[in-house]
Amino acid sequence: MKGLQNVITSSKTDSSVSKTSTSFSNVFDKAISALNESQKESDQAVTDLISGKNQDLHNVMISLAKSDVLMQTASQFRNKAIDAYQEIMRMQV
């Protein structure tokens, strides 16, 4: 969740500081990258726990929960984007 918040906050900060064009695709790419990093970190935490390198189950579970929330957020974003696309396709010209 913090990963997506950081991406959104940084894009807002960038736009208020200078009027450079921050396109939707750049924000979307950053959000997907944050999601990917979160997934990799949680996978590594689980691997370390299973192999015995890490004995801290609490932090592993927190990492998994964060990844789950980010994935759910991304899924809802995708669903809303598909709904918007379908609504546009239903419009009569």
Cα-to-chain-centroid distance, residue 85? 21
Mark out the alpha helices in 1-93 (DSSP H runs).
Answer: 2-17, 24-51, 57-90
Instruction: Give me the residues of the chain with pLDDT under 50, please.
Output: 17
**pLDDT score of 23:** 87
* pLDDT (0 to 100) of residue 93: 81
CA distance 19 to 39: 33
Question: What local confidence, expressed as pLDDT, does residue 24 receive?
Answer: 82
* Residue 51: predicted pLDDT: 93
Write b or e for each residue in 11-31: b if 16 or more Cβ atoms lie within 10 A of its Cβ, otherwise e.
beeeeeeeeeeeeeeebeebb
Span 19-36, pLDDT tens digits: 556 888 898 899 899 999
* Amino acid 16: pLDDT: 54
Report how far residue 32's alpha carbon sits from residue 40's, in angstroms, rounded to the nearest whole number.
Answer: 12
